[in-house]
Amino acid sequence: MGIPKKSIFSILISLILIIMTVVFVLGPTKLFNKAEQLLSNATPENGYEMEIMYDGDHYKLDYPILSDKNSEIYISLPDIQLITDTDVKKNGNSLTLTYLDNSVTYQNSLVKKSNAKENEIKNYKLHNELVYLPEEHIEKYLGIKVDYYLDSKFNTISLLSPTEQQLENVDREIGTTIFLHKSNVPQSKYEPRNGIYLGSYVIQDEYINADMNTFNEVTKKQHASFFRYVGYGQPFPTEWAEEVIKAGGFPQIAWEPNNGLEEVNDDEYMRQFARDANTLGVPVLLRYASEMNGNWTAYSGNPELYIEKWKVVHDVMEEVAPNVMMLWNVFTMPEDSIDDYYPGDPYVDYVGVNIYNVVYHNDNLEDKSDFEDPLRLLDFVYNTYSDTKPIVIGEFGATNYTVTDGLYHMAFAEEKIKRMYRYLPELYPRVKFIYYFDVNNLINAPEGRKINNYAITENERVKNAYANSIQSESYLTTIQNDPSTEETYSYRDFLFYYKDELYVDQQFVEEYLMMEIKELHETQFSVSYNGKTASISRNTLQINKAAFFEKRTINGISLDEIIKEFNLEHKYDGNTIHIYQ
């Protein structure tokens, strides 16, 4: 038996009266806000990190970043205030926000006198009694560009101020750098105290007939060094090395035991190799068994045996060829296995890393990597080892064409090359060599790796980007002999801001400042230095690694408190901090 029509009508009238009563009691704004609080995907467990990137720095937030079902991003007003110094004035139901010359006023959460289109978001949101601004308002009314960091994989938010937006892409999001100035620092073999030896790999550049002199001419700069690969068991490449010397440079040899580590022994072959290197009468950078941290080499997977054989090579070279610089060189990733292979400071002259900017990883359209910053790809090795060893970029290349999408990426290559060479001398004073990998791998790589073209001489735009970037006097063309004992160190990326304080990973305080740290509890470290002990604030932040969407935790300690408690001589200069020891 159905419900009578009259009863249905009565029920509908009752429902309408209830809704009208609720609207009258709560008001339309409160009702909107209550509904907004019920949005799904509005908790940090949905993939949002407690992190914002602003002008290149990490910021720890007090409140989660929210999103709605349309993936619209909302950031709490207190966090926006803290990071951007936005001025907030509240008067009853009116809220006015001012950032630089930009201003917006809300009346009952609605943008006042808005010229927004009907389909644009015109309200802020209340969540847990906090005002949350939608990304569209942050961009449109405050002038701050909101973007995803790491290509949306982690939904970390990147904020660009109006000043940053006016910069070229290559100059954006540089962030804070800590410089540490020390005296009485010993030099490694042939190490330039100031400047970076300019090098390249051209032996497979068929466009210039693999000629080093031609490469110097077309790039308008003398190069201090060139390198080539030599398989372990092959003789020392004396003829090629002499050509390098005639071109005004010195050689780097990438010496690779591609049949495995078992063949590496102190025998006549190794000693003859060393004698031939010594006979040249110039410095030789020996990059033995590099990229061992990856699983693609024949000498990876056994760190103990690797270190044992490394020490054999080191000892023979030290005895027979004192002109040889031992370069221990890894690939920028994976990071976790890198330190397992480190032979120890007494056995290493230089620490190196190979860095490539590619548009896609693993020839996979779904694995886009165009967001990767060559400087951030350097940071892990640089921060980990530059406190004791000068750093070498053993290979660097940027894709200008890839078979993955069949497209040219000239602007991509230009931007990555400019960023790397522009900022190395300024921000990474412990980098002493860099070698560009001038190769068209579409032709020269082994089967299965013919994916990217890194060559710079084939295209005028890429060649000019490289040539213009290396003209700085910081890029050295000849061996330097500077007996100065003054050295500058730097530390980047493993730091963040929280409540206007700078926190740096404890690695910097322990390894660079040489202070002793002990854990007190979750919010405090005990730090000892020069006979004094102080309690220093502690905080942590999880950030994204530079590639492959992995995580890294910064175990932060307040650098501001360290400087104050131990009365360190220092100077703040914009986005840089100088400490003098």
Q: State the SS3 of 2-13.
A: CCCHHHHHHHHH
Closest Cα partner for 382 from 512, 556, 286?
A: 512
Q: Are 304 and 399 part of one and the same domain?
A: yes
CB 285 within 8 A of CB 227: yes
Q: Are 50 and 126 part of one and the same domain?
A: yes
Q: Are 61 and 143 part of one and the same domain?
A: yes
Pairing of strands 576-580, 177-182: parallel
Q: Is residue 250 included in any domain, yes or no? A: yes
DSSP state of 239: H
Residue 411, φ and ψ in degrees, nearest 5:
-65, -40
Which CATH number characterizes residue 320's domain?
3.20.20.80
CA distance 315 to 324: 11
DSSP state of 368: B
Q: Is residue 553 included in any domain, yes or no? A: yes
Query: Sheet of 487-492: strands edge to edge?
Result: 487-492, 177-182, 576-580, 569-573
For residue 137, the SS3 value is helix
Q: Is residue 472 included in any domain, yes or no? A: yes
CA distance 367 to 491: 29
Q: Are 342 and 421 part of one and the same domain?
A: yes
Q: Which residues pair with 558 in a beta bridge?
A: 503
Q: Which domain holds residue 436?
A: 194-485
CB 170 within 8 A of CB 413: no
Q: Are 413 and 312 part of one and the same domain?
A: yes
Q: Are 562 and 498 part of one and the same domain?
A: yes
Q: Are 101 and 220 part of one and the same domain?
A: no
DSSP state of 339: G
CA distance 187 to 209: 37
DSSP state of 452: E
Q: Which pLDDT score is estimated for 152? A: 62
Q: Are 463 and 531 part of one and the same domain?
A: no
Last residue of a domain, one of 485, 517, 533: 485
Q: Over its length of 581 residues, how does the chain's per-residue pLDDT go in tens digits?
A: 444 444 444 544 454 444 444 444 444 444 334 333 333 333 444 345 678 889 999 999 999 888 887 778 899 999 999 999 999 999 999 999 999 999 999 998 889 865 655 556 778 999 999 999 999 999 999 999 998 766 666 668 889 999 999 999 999 999 999 999 999 999 999 999 999 999 999 999 999 999 999 999 999 999 999 999 999 999 999 999 999 999 999 999 999 999 999 999 999 999 999 999 999 999 999 999 999 999 999 999 999 999 999 999 999 999 999 999 999 999 999 999 999 999 999 999 999 999 999 999 999 998 999 989 999 999 999 999 999 999 999 999 999 999 999 999 999 999 999 999 999 999 999 999 999 999 999 998 888 889 999 999 999 999 999 999 999 999 999 999 888 899 999 999 999 999 989 999 999 999 999 999 999 989 999 999 999 999 999 999 999 898 877 889 999 999 999 999 999 999 999 889 999 99
Q: Is residue 455 included in any domain, yes or no? A: yes
Q: What percent of the chain is helix, strand and coil (3-state, nearest 5)?
A: 30, 30, 40
Structure tokens at 541: 């932040």
Chain centroid, CA 136 distance in Å: 28
CB 138 within 8 A of CB 99: no
Q: How many CB atoms lie within 10 A of CB 401?
A: 25
Closest Cα partner for 553 from 511, 515, 506?
A: 506
Q: Are 474 and 504 part of one and the same domain?
A: no
Q: Is residue 150 included in any domain, yes or no? A: yes
Give the chain's domain count: 3
Q: Which pLDDT score is estimated for 355? A: 98
Q: Which residues pair with 533 in a beta bridge?
A: 528
CA distance 128 to 78: 13
Q: Is residue 388 included in any domain, yes or no? A: yes
Classify burial at 522, counting beta carbons within 10 Å of its beta carbon; exposed 0-12, middle 13-18, buried 19 or more: exposed
Chain centroid, CA 14 distance in Å: 62
Classify burial at 312, counting beta carbons within 10 Å of its beta carbon; exposed 0-12, middle 13-18, buried 19 or more: middle
Last residue of a domain, one of 467, 485, 503: 485
Residue 358, φ and ψ in degrees, nearest 5:
-120, 155
Q: Are 438 and 550 part of one and the same domain?
A: no
CA distance 208 to 457: 8
CB 30 within 8 A of CB 122: no
Q: Are 336 and 387 part of one and the same domain?
A: yes
- Flag whether the pTM goes above 0.85: yes
Q: Is residue 26 included in any domain, yes or no? A: no
Last residue of a domain, one of 485, 507, 531: 485
Q: Is residue 28 included in any domain, yes or no? A: no
Q: Are 444 and 399 part of one and the same domain?
A: yes
Q: Which long-range contacts (CB under 8 A, 24 or more apart) does 230-237 make?
A: 230/254, 230/255, 230/256, 231/256, 231/257, 231/258, 232/256, 232/257, 232/258, 232/259, 232/263, 232/264, 233/259, 233/263, 233/269, 235/272, 235/273, 235/276, 236/272, 236/273, 236/276, 236/277
Pairing of strands 324-331, 350-357: parallel
CA distance 504 to 539: 9
CA distance 450 to 401: 11
The size of the chain, in residues, is 581
Residue 51, φ and ψ in degrees, nearest 5:
-150, 140
